[in-house]
Amino acid sequence: MRIVVADTAASAARLAADLVEDFITAEPRPALGLATGETMEAVFAELVRRHRARGLSFAGVRAYLLDEYLDLDRQDPCAYRNVVHRLLARHVDLGAGAIHGPDPHAIDLDAECNRYERELRAAPIGLQLLGIGSNGHIAFNEPGSPLDSTTRVVALSEQTRAENARFFPAGQAVPTRAITQGIATIRAANQLVMVACGKHKADSVARALEGPVTSEAPASAIQLHPNVTVVLRASAAVGLSESLRAGAP
Ligand code: GLP
């Protein structure tokens, strides 16, 4: 596992964007796994900046969503497909047809989860971007999620709903359910890039990187992956042991 500590959120976003850029320019039809959340907003903004400044192209990219809320209208701006469109796709040469994700309006959600799992395994994902929840979730795999879980419908914890309420207009309830890639699905990606910023992430980052690998800390599953880069703003790295921080350049 490579750990990189950055001084600012902007430099963390640039480091993550460097890895995405290397990946999408090295392959003709790259399969890129996209996360969402505030941390990713800065990464998307940096990628858009590079597209505008020097033509970084997404023309061949196939993008895959990590997770998606259930029970929102198709047009709801908070649906992750719409977030990715608004913050990334519409500003770069990434067509709407290039964004793949589970259909949260499918009649048979279990069948849809299985379909998306098969699609991901067939892709397969070359680089998967990941954030981390302050309770240690990755995607919407909440504490207690089996390490061998695949794409499925999950209930969101109260903590996650409370944290994500800031993305929803006042008065709109945060969904209680979502479809998420499972932990095994995420682990099947060739390369993982996790990004975390802020003191409120320090504890979950320390558990993910140095704690036991356990379903109680879903992000700890990244320890099982052979090709992981963790990009941390210094504030999110304060819980790490000296030896791990010393290993970071
Ligand atoms: C949501 C997403 C996760 C993401 C997390 C962190 O819950 N489902 O994939 O890791 O947010 O978000 P933020 O970067 O806003 O802290």
Nearest residue by C-alpha to atom 8 in ligand 1: 139
* Number of helical H runs and strand E runs in the chain: 8, 10
Q: Which amino acid is at 219?
A: A
223 Rama class: left (phi>0) / alpha (psi -120 to 50) / beta: alpha
Residue 76 structural domain: 2-246
- Residue 248's pLDDT is 62
Domain count within the chain:
1
**Tens digit of each residue's pLDDT (9 = 90 or more) over 35-73:** 999 999 999 999 999 999 999 999 999 999 999 999 999
Q: In terms of Cα–Cα distance, which of 234, 225, 134 is closest to 186?
A: 225
111 touches 135 (CB < 8 A): no
Which CATH number do you get for residue 179? 3.40.50.1360
82 as an active site residue: the answer is: no
The C-alpha torsion from 248 through 24 and 68 to 86, rounded to 10°, is 110
Atom of ligand 1 nearest to the CA of 139: 9
61 touches 32 (CB < 8 A): yes
67 as an active site residue: the answer is: yes
**CB-CB neighbours of 213 under 10 Å:** 14
Mark the ranges of the chain whose per-residue pLDDT is less than 50. Answer: none
Catalytic residue among 46, 137, 141, 163: 137
Residue by residue, DSSP assigns 156-176 as PPHHHHHHHGGGSPTTPPPPS
Q: Which amino acid is at 205?
A: V
- How does the average pLDDT of the chain come out, rounded? 96
Q: Which of 81, 163, 168 to mutate to test the pocket of ligand 1 (most atoms within 8 A of CB)?
A: 163
Q: Reduced to 3 DSSP states, what percent helix, strand and coil does the chain have, rounded to the nearest 5?
A: 45, 20, 40
**Residue 22, SS3 per DSSP:** helix
